[in-house]
A and B are shown apart, each in its own frame.
Chain A
Amino acid sequence: MNTSRRYFLKVAGLSTFAIAAGASKGNAAEYEAYPEGLKAHRWAMVIDTRRFNSPEDMKPIVDACHKAHNVPTIPGPKEIKWIWDDTFEHAFAGDPSPILPERIEKRRFFLLCNHCTNPSCVRVCPAGATYKTPGGLVAIDYHRCVGCRFCMAACPYGSRSFNFMDPRPHVKELNPEYPTRMRGVVEKCTFCAERLEKGQMPACVEASKGAIVFGDLNDPKSIVRKMLANNFSIRRKPDLGTDPGVYYII
């Protein structure tokens, strides 16, 4: 009896100490942002499509993104892609039979998540796994996603991919800097949130040698606003009211 009481007091005392220590440690190690991190009210991307005239111009950019984020190479209709290219008719679907100048007809256009101001994917997510960050990025918590794929049905741009299988065996060169995903969750372009917070531009922007620019849409002096002020641009399916954040200079 006596020993068990002593034992109880010992354990209770130790646990109290441990909890107190844990709490103070928790306070000290509170999350702090990188001081060099980039901030914006509304991140946006402008793609100068005039600069992309052949598949060779596009491949390094796709590779840069997919390598940086451990995007698996899975052939067939269960594929996963964050950024890819397609024709004008497919990218800007809506006109069933457009008559286009030859240079536009031959040109390829990058497709990626539009990081919409009114994202329908965020609206429908039943677990809060897809959400908007203060900078206007549409992000996914891979650990909260239940894999219901409602967001894929809701995205009018087909920007999202689902991990039908374990993606790890399909990642060619593993980048230890970025997490891999598991089967059964949805993923997509993040506008390189992890690079922005370290003060770097997105991987595709860096690899594009100036053909893709990135900046704060709400800042009239930003590079994206300058590009948009001087060139005619379009967006994908603006009539749906999602207010996409990717602009295409034609």
Chain B
Amino acid sequence: MVEKVLKGSPKYYLWLLFLLSIIGYAFIVYVFQLMYGLQTTGLTRNTSWGFYIAQFTYLVGVAAAAVMLVLPATFHHYHPYHRVIVFAEFLAIGAVIMCMLFIVVDMGQPQRVMNVILHPTPNSVMFWDCTVLCGYLLLNAVIGWTSLEHESRHVEVPRWIKVLVVISIFWAFSIHTVTAFLYAGLPGRHYWLSAIMAARFLASAFCAGPALLLLCLLLLKKLTGFDPSKPVIRSLSITIAYAMGLNMFFYVLELFTAFYSGIPGHAHPIHFLFGGHEGLNVWVTGWMWTAVVLAFVSIFFLAIPKYRYNLKILPWALVALVIATWIDKGLGLLIGGFAPTPYETYEVYTPSFWEVSVGLGVFAVGALVVSILWKIALEMKKESGVPFELSEGE
């Protein structure tokens, strides 16, 4: 199966080469970060997490999103999804690998990363996050690979895989819940100290992840002619629309609690994100309002069936949604959480050029992993006679 990676068009090779060159550049930057420490980043004593942890948080959501296909296919026997489920699982593998890399590049002493396993501390949410992420990676790799193999040999998937699939459904919910618990249990960080954090994370993940998957599938169709099929596009876009609606509703709940209660601790971070503080943080204000506008644009086009089913409009609505959720659950979440500081002061965090460079490298690793895995899946589907092009109504 692995040999499928090696056979491809010049365009495919060029794409891999492009990703490898970004990875190479980012690796060099990362070596400098290792040598000189995290002073290469824009992080400070008061804003001790930033760009890296923001991407980690967002990508855990992308990883968890595979469940939005696996659940209907397993519990409700919704067959159309079987055509593309392996792509969702392989996207999840890429996302989890990126999550782990973002954690490692954020560490001050990455060579001690095994301390988390050598000295297990069940009281730490970070310990559980590592555990569930590793487990999720393993689950998706085993399930994805085995189902693909069985599909290519035209045999039923074994029973034990079905058990693993059911486990993976609950596991997907757990990974993002645990990620939310990283934030939602810290005293004194008011923006994060919210009971709805895990629910918000899940809603955001279940719209952003499938949106990213659908975008990639539409791109795949353009590049290779593999049609994800009309029912898949329709059902996925409905899921995305509902999840985005929930996601926005949950944010409004946060706004109500903060501003109706009028408690400064709850209101201040939101004030800061959207209005700045005495001229500080102009870029974050613009950033947050961009997310708001894009969120409303995406929900408008996704909620109305006429636009949602229009393949000329749908990709743009999805792009708007991905950017909006990426801002909200990425840097917006991190900067809001550290504002104000424990002394009720405000400061500006801006990721440094080097920080973004290393981040790009991690994204390139993810893209490389997903490209290779999708290539294998596609070749195997072709070999086993799965039709690429579908007639209307299939």
- Residues 102 to 126 of chain A near chain B (Cβ within 8 Å): 111, 120, 123-126
Among A14-22, A40-48, A237-245, the stretch in contact with B: A237-245
Residue of A nearest to B126 (CB): A126
- Residues 43 to 60 of chain B near chain A (Cβ within 8 Å): 43-46, 48-49
Question: In the bound complex, what is the Cα–Cα distance between A241 and B337 (angstroms)?
Answer: 20
Mask of A123-134 contacts with B, CB within 8 angstroms, 1/0:
111111100000
B372 at the interface (CB under 8 A from A): no
Shortest CB distance B385–A (Å): 48
Question: In the bound complex, what is the Cα–Cα distance between A186 and B43 (angstroms)?
Answer: 14
Mask of B327-349 contacts with A, CB within 8 angstroms, 1/0:
00000000001101111110100
Are A183 and B37 touching (Cβ within 8 A)?
yes
Are A146 and B113 touching (Cβ within 8 A)?
yes
Are A96 and B264 touching (Cβ within 8 A)?
yes
Shortest CB distance B317–A (Å): 34
Say whether, besides A128-B119, A184-B38, A149 and B108 are in contact (CB < 8 Å): yes
- Residues 327 to 383 of chain B near chain A (Cβ within 8 Å): 337-338, 340-345, 347
Which of chain A's residues have a CB closer than 8 A to the CB of B110? 146-147
Are B46 and A146 touching (Cβ within 8 A)?
no
A82 at the interface (CB under 8 A from B): no
B157 at the interface (CB under 8 A from A): no
B73 at the interface (CB under 8 A from A): no
Are A123 and B347 touching (Cβ within 8 A)?
no
Say whether, besides A147-B109, A165-B39, A156 and B125 are in contact (CB < 8 Å): no
Which of chain A's residues have a CB closer than 8 A to the CB of B46? 77, 158
Cross-chain contact of B189 among A111, A129, A153, A163 (Cβ < 8 A): A153
Q: B-side binding surface: helix, strand, loop or mixed?
A: loop
Which of chain A's residues have a CB closer than 8 A to the CB of B39? 78, 164-165
Shortest CB distance B204–A (Å): 20
Say whether, besides A89-B344, A125-B121, A126-B126, A78 and B188 are in contact (CB < 8 Å): no
> Chain A, interface size: which category?
35 or more
Residue numbers of B with Cβ under 8 A of A are 36-39, 41, 43-46, 48-49, 103, 106-110, 112-113, 115-116, 119, 121, 123-127, 130, 182, 185-189, 264, 337-338, 340-345, 347
Q: Show 29 residue pairs from A and B whose CB-CB distance is below 8 angstroms, ordered by the A residue.
A: A77-B44, A77-B347, A86-B343, A90-B344, A90-B345, A94-B344, A120-B186, A125-B124, A126-B126, A127-B116, A129-B115, A145-B109, A145-B112, A146-B109, A147-B108, A147-B110, A148-B103, A149-B108, A153-B189, A153-B337, A156-B186, A156-B187, A157-B188, A162-B43, A162-B108, A163-B108, A183-B36, A184-B38, A241-B187
